[in-house]
Structure 1
Amino acid sequence: MIWSSPVQKFQFSNLVTLPQMHLVITEDMSKTIKVWNCQDRDPLATLPMTASSYCMEAHVTKDGPFLMVGDATGDIYTFTLPELRDVSKVTAFQCAIILLRCSPDKKWVFACGTYSRAFPQVFLTEDLLRPSEGSAPLSTFLPHKFCTTACWNPKKKNRITLMSHNRRGKKTEFITFDLTTRNTGGQTVVQAYEISSFQLAPHLEHPTWIGASDGYLIVFPSGPYLLLFSITGFLLQRFQDHQTPINNFWVVCMILLHCFLV
């Protein structure tokens, strides 16, 4: 099936898909979110936002399909799909949110702001989907600054690896956390345990993307090389198939898709 939306008055600034439901969700430069069914010329739903959105995440849970939006003011909005009905709004940061990552089992939502010295947060998804009046959603900070990207592990679903880059010190570091909930004094709390970390050798180029698998492996491009590391920092393999820098990268389980400019 080939489908294209009508020409829009404003340029698209964000786009995510929900293949299971044949949905495309867009945001344009006028800060308007639209849901398309990949069949009709008119959107199924339209919602003007008060602030620009830097990231969107669409996923299907046991409670149905949802869209999460991180905006320029530091708020996370949750909407139903395809209706874009408001479910919750949470202030996560005092700066723009640039990363939202939902865990493979949809239990956790990772959020990261633009301010490099702010700690990223992980929220319990259920609290964003079923907010309790008068109480904040369960979450925890991941105590590491300068985060630039992160990825959940597809097999060990409560494990997330962060990549940080301190430009002043020119230091790239990978930190892996395990998330869990614990009942303490009759209250449920979210806890994060750092299980490993390592620094990238200074002569290697700072990567833009990372992927993970098997609970203990991370992979990322660095210049023309594709590097496979253990989460403890042991270089397992260096692929040298490219002559030019890899400029795009995608991981599906352990099928690595990467391309480069000729």
Structure 2
Amino acid sequence: IWSSPLQPAPLVNLVTYPQLQLVATVDQQGLIKVWKAETGWEWASFCLPTSCSAVEACDHPEGSFLLVACAEGTLYTLTVPQLQVVSKVTLFPSPFVCLLCSPDRQWLFASAHNSDLGPKVFYTRSLLHPSEDELPVSTTLTVRLSSKACWAPDEAARLTVMHRNGSVRQLVVTTFELKAMKSRDRVSILGKSPPCWPRSAHHQHHSVVFLGRVSVSLLNTCSSLPGPPESQVIGMGHCAQLEQFLRIGSCCFMT
């Protein structure tokens, strides 16, 4: 039907927006272009400060957006088709980043390849409506050297991550269930392993709550969560123990 003209630099990635009949391409130098899929007409362009590491299309209920990670580790949120910058936030000090939107486009998973830094999950709406006083709503999963991740198609907020099992050279799979919680004027992410998480008979009554930066009102919400009296609460200093708890019960992440 059409072919794009020769570009100044080789194209390295593309995503499509079927409902809008648009194609977005990224070249080796970080130049982004939006094309009309029916005619090949160039709609808009935007140049990143560095080369592109990852790109993800986001057909959010509030509009269409393009999520792009730079090689310098910065995440850009751009409108489509205008390619205007909505927000930008630092992800990782790594040139190789993976981005993955949930099926309902409410969550964005971001990880750095071959890095000890835990992957992050962003509440997409906070990227689309940034605040000058607060960073986008996100949480860091306490898993190391994550290699693959995917969203469950029938459970939009359920994320499965394959990662290294501590210091052992073995890959394990951990599943998280995410939920956005409103507490007064702030939104936080609540993440836990789903109820079907396998657990041994000896530990069947245990659950674990992991607390990061938590407001008082959110802490009260946490203390009122249903659970047996032997549930344990651990703080930031016990991160190393988290993986063994993941294998015996449910886990909540709050920031």
Report the TM-score, using the length of structure 1 for normalisation: 0.69
Query: 1:63 and 1:183 mapped to 2: Cα distance?
Result: 19
Q: Aligned residue for 1:4? A: 3
Distance 1:19 1:185, change over 3 A: closer
What secondary structure sits across from 2:122 in the alignment?
strand
Greater RCO structure (CA 8 Å; 6+ sep): 2
Identity among equivalent positions (%) equals 38
Equivalence for 2:33: 34
SS of match in other structure, 2:127: helix
- Tell me the CA shift for residue 181 of structure 1: 2.2
Q: Secondary structure at the match of 1:60?
A: strand
Give, in whole Å, the separation in 2 of the partners of 1:82 and 1:186.
31
Q: CA RMSD in A?
A: 2.3
Q: Give the greater-gyration-radius structure (CA).
A: 2
SS at the partner of 1:189? Answer: strand
Alpha-carbon shift at residue 173 of structure 1 (Å):
1.5
The structure that is strand-richer by fraction is 1
Aligned-partner residue type, residue 155 of structure 1: D
Displacement after TM superposition at 1:193 (Å): 1.3
Alignment of 1:1-262 (within 5 A): 2-165=1-164, 169-184=168-183, 187-195=186-194, 196=197
* Residues 1:186 and 1:81: Cα distance change in structure 2 (over 3 Å): closer
| Cα deviations by residue, 1:50-81 (Å, 9 ceiling, x for unpaired) | 01111111121121110000111111100000
Aligned equivalents of 1:84 and 1:193: distance in 2?
35
Give a deviation string over 1:151-197, Cα, whole Å, max 9, x none.
1111111100011257x854221110011123457643112213448
Q: How many Å separate the matches in 2 of 1:107 and 1:30?
A: 29
- Return the letter of the residue paired with 1:52: S
Tell me the distance in 2 between the aligned counterparts of 1:26 and 1:179.
31
1:38, 1:182 → 2: CA distance? 39
Cα distance in 2 for residues equivalent to 1:186 and 1:18: 33
Letter in 2 for 1:101: L
Contact 2:29 2:50 in 1 (8 A): no
* Conservation of the 8 A alpha-carbon contact between 1:10 and 1:28: yes
- Unpaired stretches in structure 1, ≥5 consecutive residues: 199-231, 233-262
Paired with 1:21 and 1:65, the residues of 2 have a C-alpha distance of: 9
Give 1:128 shift. 0.2
Runs of at least 5 residues in structure 2 that lack an aligned partner in the other structure: 200-246, 248-255
**For the residues of structure 1 that align with 2:147 and 2:59, how far apart are their CA atoms?**
26
Query: For residue 81 of structure 2, what is the amino acid of its counterpart?
Result: P
Separation in 2, partners of 1:99, 1:162: 12
Aligned to 2:205: none
How many correspondences in the alignment? Answer: 198
